[in-house]
Amino acid sequence: MELSLTLSTLLFGLMLLAFGGSVLMKYSSASALARGFPRSEQAGKVLMIVAMVWTAWKVWNLGPTDYGDYKQFILVGFGLLGVLSFKYAADFLSVRASSILYLFFADALLESAWMRYDEPLRLLLVTPVYIGIALSLYFAYAPYRVRDFFTWLFSKESKAKNVSGGIAVYGLILCLIAFTF
């Protein structure tokens, strides 16, 4: 399913607005949830299963130019990696699975902006998406840094509210811009 640029900008804006707004309105709950997330076994299992299903769907739909002739082998390989991650990479599994899911989500967002050079406002969508890609690759490599980041972010309520307020404002801007394309 391919998203339009308007829909992907609106969707990403709503997600940023919801994320930033939830921290602003429910600071104590968001703080507790964020601090427990990196090592949450339940979140790790659920997110990894979703990531495995999304990976299987992407691999199953590979074309012949994308090694689609070998998709059965690729499916077995990724399935084996996914199952083994529950045992051998269980620590911070939720962070790693979130990184996988964000990369798939970013792919869908960037695909909607592909070759749309006539619309310069697309840069407001793709810039934070590329920043998120860099962060998700870094956090997949060093997932304990998410714990460190949340410790730093929620050490002072004003710090967390300023960052989440900025995220919410940017999400609102994206929502408003989505209707100008």
What percentage of the chain carries pLDDT values higher than 70?
96
Length in residues, the chain: 181
Give the tokens for residue 45: 């299992």
Q: Which residue has the higher pLDDT, 159 or 33?
A: 159
Residue 121 has pLDDT above 80, yes or no: no
Name the DSSP letter for residue 89. S
Mean pLDDT score, 159-163: 91
Q: What share of the chain is helix, strand, coil (3-state, %, to 5)?
A: 85, 0, 15
**What is the predicted pLDDT for the residue at 117?**
63
Distance from first CA to last CA of the chain, Å, rounded?
A: 20
What value does the mean pLDDT of the chain take? 87
**What is the predicted pLDDT for the residue at 181?**
64
**What is the predicted pLDDT for the residue at 1?**
59
Give the integer Cα–Cα distance in Å for 146 and 164.
16
Confidence of residue 38 (pLDDT cuts 50, 70, 90): confident
Mean pLDDT score, 60-66: 82
Residue 131 has pLDDT above 90, yes or no: yes
**What is the predicted pLDDT for the residue at 171?**
93
Is 61 in a helix, a strand, or coil?
Answer: coil
Give the integer Cα–Cα distance in Å for 102 and 141.
14
**What is the predicted pLDDT for the residue at 86?**
87
> What pTM value is reported for the model?
0.84
